[in-house]
Structure 1
Amino acid sequence: MSPHKAPDSSRRSDRSRRAIYDAALALVGETGYARTTIEGIAARAGVGKQTIYRWWPSKAAVLMEAFLDLAARQAEEAEGEGEGEGEGGIPDTGDLAADLRLVLRATVDELNDPAIAGPTRALTAEGIVDPDLGARFVEHLLDPSIQLYVTRLRAAQASGELRADIDPRIALELLIAPLTHRWLLRTLPLTHAYADAIVDYALGGLSAEPRGGAPRP
């Protein structure tokens, strides 16, 4: 007889954790954040709710970790398919406008994806009333993306495509804030044409005549 092999508890925990991630993301997408409960996540994942409470203090914490895991997996898949530049950075083809249109179009596609839109809306809204969650949301999800824009805009400054006196952190807000505003308020559809227009307006300016640089706030 072959010796009895003890169950691998780490593999069991990984399977349970993955099931909880998938359940949390699915429920938020189907029923919304307010109606998603720890009990519902546990039932969907096939685990006891005490398992969830042992690993996370709240459903917001579950959703945060599940969404981070989703983002990491999608980044790995994109790299495997040869998308992006470097380690998930914004492409640098030497044409800033084209590179920004590409990344803003990809952002539009993500925000229109129900699998991403539901959790992102939930975390955004909950982060407003929960400062600790909001800080983690900014640190782990927003800041890494913002830094990619800063890096690309600084490269454009170095190559002479952008004015040397602009603040990249302010400049990037001209690109991502309009998308976020329209997406959060659901005023009008998010489209690739809208993303292209944002890039054109941000890089070309709105004034009919060139003006001197405005003082920094």
Structure 2
Amino acid sequence: MSPHKAPDSSRRSDRSRRAICDAALSLVGEVGYARTTIEGIAARAGVGKQTIYRWWPSKAAVLMEAFTDEGARRSADVEGVGVAEDGELGIPDTGDLAADLKLVLRATVDGLNDPAAAAPTRALTAEGIMDPALGAQFVENLLEPQLQLYVTRLRAAQEAGEVREDIDPRVALELLVAPLTHRWLLRTLPLTHAYADAVVDHALRGLSVRP
């Protein structure tokens, strides 16, 4: 008979953490941020609320980690998007800026159209407008790291002579991501791969080096 092995506490804790993050995302999507509570998250995850307080100081902190994990997981699941030599997520650099940007924006469209992700993202975005502190956290922890990936890729394109030297990458990236966000927020027109491709084509006409 094989000897009895003690439970692996680190694996059990990771399962609990994942369950808590999943519960937080689902609850904020169903009832909104304001009505989501630590008690509700704990009940949905099947853990005690003290477990949550031991790892996070607030429900906002739970949601920030949940969104960060989910964003990284979705990026890693998209073929060709995101794993650099140092293991960090990033925009691919194949030497074809248009193709690289279209790949990433198509993945963004898929993420925004996914009901499981869209509902909690909308709820947290709306709450961030009403709560400046939460909004600042949302931008700093979730949006800004993703936007910096565009800055890095556009700077590489400048160095390769694909993008004009006088372009500010931080401003230029908004030509790419803002139209998608605008259409997603208003929900008046479909958000499609074809639209993402058109956004890239139109933006690069203004950014590219001209003969």
TM-score, with normalisation over the residues of structure 1? 0.80
* Structure 2, gaps ≥5 residues long: none
Residues 157 and 164, structure 1, Cα contact 8 Å, conserved in 2: yes
Number of positions where the alignment pairs a residue of Structure 1 with one of Structure 2: 204
Residues 29 and 119, structure 1, Cα contact 8 Å, conserved in 2: yes
Paired amino acid for 1:105: R
Gap change, CA 1:141 and 1:13, over 3 Å in 2: same
Residues 109 and 191, structure 2, Cα contact 8 Å, conserved in 1: yes
Match of residue 108 from structure 1: 109
Match of residue 68 from structure 1: 68
Match of residue 186 from structure 2: 185
Residues 154 and 169, structure 2, Cα contact 8 Å, conserved in 1: yes
- Secondary structure at 2:163 match in 1: coil
Between 1:34-43 and 1:92-101, the stretch displaced more is 34-43
Between 1:194-203 and 1:47-56, the stretch displaced more is 47-56
Match of residue 171 from structure 2: 170
Give the Cα separation in 2 of the matches to 1:6 and 1:90: 42
Residues 25 and 66, structure 1, Cα contact 8 Å, conserved in 2: yes
Give the Cα separation in 1 of the matches to 2:100 and 2:34: 38
Between 1:166-175 and 1:44-53, the stretch displaced more is 44-53
2:19 is the counterpart of 1:19: yes
Paired amino acid for 2:189: L
Match of residue 44 from structure 1: 44
Match of residue 58 from structure 2: 58
Give 1:198-209 correspondences, 5 Å limit.
Answer: 198-205=199-206
Match of residue 213 from structure 1: none
**CA offset digits 1:65-101 (Å, max 9, x no partner):** 11112223334445xx664462432222222222211
* Structure 1, gaps ≥5 residues long: 211-217
- Secondary structure at 1:164 match in 2: coil
Give the Cα separation in 1 of the matches to 2:168 and 2:130: 30
Q: State, as a whole percentage, how many aligned pairs show the same letter.
A: 82
Query: Where do 4+ consecutive residues of structure 1 move more than 6 Å?
Result: 2-6
TM-score, with normalisation over the residues of structure 2? 0.82
Structure with max Cα Rg:
1
2:94 is the counterpart of 1:93: yes
Give the Cα separation in 1 of the matches to 2:12 and 2:156: 46
